[in-house]
Amino acid sequence: MNPIVLALNSGSSSLKFGLYRVGLASLDVLHSGEAELKSIDDTQDALIGIAELLTKARMPVPTAIGHRVVHGGPQLRDHCLISDAVLGQLETATAFAPLHIPPALSVIRFAREHFSGLPQAACFDTAFHAAMPDVARTLPIARELRSQGIERYGFHGLSCESIVRQLGSDLPERLVIAHLGNGASITAVKAGKSIDTSMGLTPTGGVIMGTRSGDLDPGILVYLAREKAFNPVMLEDLVDRRSGLLGISGVDSDMRRLRQAASSNADARLAIEMFCISVRKQVAAMVAAMDGIDMIVFTGGIGENDAQARAEICRGLSWIGIDLDEPWARCRVLVLASQEDEQIARHTCELTAGN
């Protein structure tokens, strides 16, 4: 019988799930959905609800469970089966992604209790970027800090994997993946491998995001700490929860609501313009890293659904061959759905094949 994998994709404010039958050359979606999380305490209720939903729908019982984990820290760079030791390492890695790892750990712990005896796997967003060349991975800080695991990790790796998989034989030599959602990143993929990406040590860096600042002059944080008495908790709250589209606009972090407000609100218009230019700059940087571009793929909530944002990003990039309106453009522009949960199911099946 083909394995039945329950994929659990926990974010900072939601828990997505998918139940899959995984074959040698196929993957069938049996059921999927999403639960909103207002706090970490909601994760247990959400998991119980998912289990009840699958039971009522008479779905087959899963034979394994896979979890999306944003960051595994310096010790966990490859997808792996979850053990007590792995859980301990994930707890240590919380400092690298405080928005994402605590809810993921809550889901993992409760899933191990609720589905006792089932093998469970951790699938890392950082794994796709683990082999980036030193010139991209190394951060320009003191050597003794770099030796402690402070480097560029990159994120949205499961999404990038899914794009590469979907392209298959159509995969170009030089690909830019623009994963644009509440979290957003730009990745340069050369010959199927990540060679550079916009996010760094944490998922806060890179382009402007919904509530995250993206790249900042580090002197801003030094100034706030020294002159305004910001402590680490206050700085973290600022750059992760009160910046980005929300911080610029003062209206919302959701691009759809900003579009609605833009006709009468100058700050909402500014937030949209800054977001698009931020992405455009990073696309150009990835083109420079690859010495050219053959294709750009837009994915994620904004990337897949906001045609106006795609047009605004591509506007001004015709000089490198990106043009949505011209059939002769040297660079193909595609929109593909991110399939993170499917990737979780595939990796989980591979990792648990021996059980």
Q: What is the per-residue pLDDT across 105-138, written as a single tens digit (0 to 9) for each?
A: 999 999 999 888 999 999 999 999 999 999 999 9
pLDDT band (50, 70, 90) for residue 355: low
Beta bridge partners of 193: 190
- Report for 109-113, 284-288, 322-326: range of highest mean pLDDT: 284-288
pLDDT at 16 > cutoff 80: yes
Angle between helices 255-262 and 266-290 (to 10 degrees): 130
Q: 4-124: what fold?
A: Nucleotidyltransferase; domain 5 (3.30.420)
What pLDDT was estimated at residue 173?
A: 98
Q: What is the mean pLDDT of residues 283-312?
A: 97
Nearest Cα residue to 71 out of 179, 182, 205, 266: 205
User: Any idea which residue has 């950082």 for tokens?
Assistant: 126
Q: What is the mean pLDDT of residues 326-346?
A: 93
pLDDT at 326 > cutoff 90: no
**Segment among 12-26, 152-166, 261-275 with least mean pLDDT:** 12-26
- What is the side-by-side order of every strand in the sheet holding 80-81? 27-36, 14-22, 4-10, 64-69, 120-124, 80-81
pLDDT at 354 > cutoff 70: no
Yes or no: domain 157-335 corresponds to CATH 3.40.50.300: no
What pLDDT was estimated at residue 315?
A: 92
d(CA 247, CA 320): 32
Question: Do the domains 4-124 and 157-335 sit in the same CATH topology, yes or no?
Answer: yes
Which residues are annotated as catalytic?
125
What pLDDT was estimated at residue 35?
A: 84
Q: What angle do CA 309, 314, 316 make, to 5 degrees?
A: 120
Q: What is the per-residue pLDDT across 179-238, written as a single tens digit (0 to 9) for each?
A: 999 999 999 999 999 999 999 999 999 999 999 999 999 999 999 999 999 999 999 999
Nearest Cα residue to 5 out of 64, 80, 79: 64
What pLDDT was estimated at residue 165?
A: 97
d(CA 200, CA 181): 17
pLDDT at 94 > cutoff 70: yes
Question: What residue ranges do the domains of the chain occupy?
Answer: 4-124, 157-335
pLDDT at 293 > cutoff 70: yes
pLDDT at 40 > cutoff 80: no
Strand pairing category for 14-22 and 27-36: antiparallel
pLDDT band (50, 70, 90) for residue 36: confident
More confident residue, 42 or 309: 309
